[in-house]
C-alpha cells in the first residue's frame, strides 16, 4: 500500500473557540491525512499562554507569535524585546502574524506600519521567519518589506497569499515564500492560481488558516489542518506535479524556511 505523502499545515489557529475540547481529534484527523506538523499562530500576545500550552501538549504542533494588524489598535504596541523573549521557547518557530490590513482597519494604518517594522526587527534578531498578513495594502506592503530588507535581510512567508501579481513578484524577488490557502482551490480563483503557477516551486508553502477558508469539498464549513491536503492536491494540479511530488517540495520548502521546526527534537 502506498504511504500517504507527508505535508505541513504552515498556518492555523488552534487556540480559537472553534476547536475547544476537540484538539486531540483534530490533530488525529490531520495525521490520517498526512499532516505531520502544524504551526498555530498567536495573533495577540495576551493569548500567548494558551497558544504556547497547545504546542507544548501536542508533539506535531509548533507556534508563532505576534500582533495581527487588525488587532494593533486594540493591543499595546509590541516591542522587539517581547518578541525576542517569546522566540526563546523551543517550539516558537516564527514571528507574526504581522502585516497590513487596510480592508477592515485602514484607520490604524500608521500604527500597523510601526508594528510591522518592529516585527521585522525581531525576525532579524531571532533568525526566525516573518509571517505576513496582507490585505488591500499592496503598495505600502511592497515598500516596507523592500526598504527593510535592503537595510538588513530577513526571511518571510506571505501567508494566505491572495494579493496582486505585483506583490507576489516583489516578495519572490526578495527571496520570500508564498503560501497557498483554501482560496487557491475555490473555482473562481483562476487568476490567483496563475500567480502561483508562475512562482518557483521551491518558494511554495501550504496552509489552512483554520478555522477559516475551508477548501472544497468543505467550503463554508469550519476548516481544520487535515483539509490542507485538499488545497495541496489543487496546488499540485496548478504546478503540473503529482501530489506526492508537490507535497515533497512543500515539505522541503517548509524545512528550509522554518528550520527551527525542522531541527526540533522531542525531549527524551
- C-alpha distances (whole Å) from 241 to each of 76, 183, 237 are 45, 19, 6
Range of the domain at 80: 7-262
The pTM of this model reads: 0.96
Check residue 128 and give its pLDDT. Answer: 98
In a domain, 113, yes or no: yes
In a domain, 20, yes or no: yes
Domain with 81 in it: what CATH number? Answer: 3.20.20.140
221 phi and psi angles, rounded to 5 deg: -105, 175
Say if 186 falls within a structural domain: yes
The answer as to whether 178 is a domain residue is yes
- Please tell me whether residue 41 adopts helix, strand or coil conformation: strand
Residue 2 falls inside a structural domain: no
- Asked if residue 268 belongs to a domain, the reply is no
Query: 27-59, pLDDT tens digit by residue?
Result: 999 999 999 999 999 999 999 999 999 999 999
What total of structural domains would you count in the chain? 1
pLDDT of residue 265: 83
Residues of the chain with pLDDT under 70: 1-2, 268
**Whole-number pLDDT of residue 246:** 98
Nearest to 83 by CA among 71, 69, 98, 100: 98
Q: Does 1 map to a domain? A: no
pLDDT at 268: 57
| Cis check: omega of the bond before 189, within 30 degrees of 0 | no
CA nearest neighbour of 232 among 186, 181, 197, 172: 181
Q: How much is the pLDDT for 2?
A: 64
Report if residue 91 sits inside a domain: yes
Amino acid at each position: 500500500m502506498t504511504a500517504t505523502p507527508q505535508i505541513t499545515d504552515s498556518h492555523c489557529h488552534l487556540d480559537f473557540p472553534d476547536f475547544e475540547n476537540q484538539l486531540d481529534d483534530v490533530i488525529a484527523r490531520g495525521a490520517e491525512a498526512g499532516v505531520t506538523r502544524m504551526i498555530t499562530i498567536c495573533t495577540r500576545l495576551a493569548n500567548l499562554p494558551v497558544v504556547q500550552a497547545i504546542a507544548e501538549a501536542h508533539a506535531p504542533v509548533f507556534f508563532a507569535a505576534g500582533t495581527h494588524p487588525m488587532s494593533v489598535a486594540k493591543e499595546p504596541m509590541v516591542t522587539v524585546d517581547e518578541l525576542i523573549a517569546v522566540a526563546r521557547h523551543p517550539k516558537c518557530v516564527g514571528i507574526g502574524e504581522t502585516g497590513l490590513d487596510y480592508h477592515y482597519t485602514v484607520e490604524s494604518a500608521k500604527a500597523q506600519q510601526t508594528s510591522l517594522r518592529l516585527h521585522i526587527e525581531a525576525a532579524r534578531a531571532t533568525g526566525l521567519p516573518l509571517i505576513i498578513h496582507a490585505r488591500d495594502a499592496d503598495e505600502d506592503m511592497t515598500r516596507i518589506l523592500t526598504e527593510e530588507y535592503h537595510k538588513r535581510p530577513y526571511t518571510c512567508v506571505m501567508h494566505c497569499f491572495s494579493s496582486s501579481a505585483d506583490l507576489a513578484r516583489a516578495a519572490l524577488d526578495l527571496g520570500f515564500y508564498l503560501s497557498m490557502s483554501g482560496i487557491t482551490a475555490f473555482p473562481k480563483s483562476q487568476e490567483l492560481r496563475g500567480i502561483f503557477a508562475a512562482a518557483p516551486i521551491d518558494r511554495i508553502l501550504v496552509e489552512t488558516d483554520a478555522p477559516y477558508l475551508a477548501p472544497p469539498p468543505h467550503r463554508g464549513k469550519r476548516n481544520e489542518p487535515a483539509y490542507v491536503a485538499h488545497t495541496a492536491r489543487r496546488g499540485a494540479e496548478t504546478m503540473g506535479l503529482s501530489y506526492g511530488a508537490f507535497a515533497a517540495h512543500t515539505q522541503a520548502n517548509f524545512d528550509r524556511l522554518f528550520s527551527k521546526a525542522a531541527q526540533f527534537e522531542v525531549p527524551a
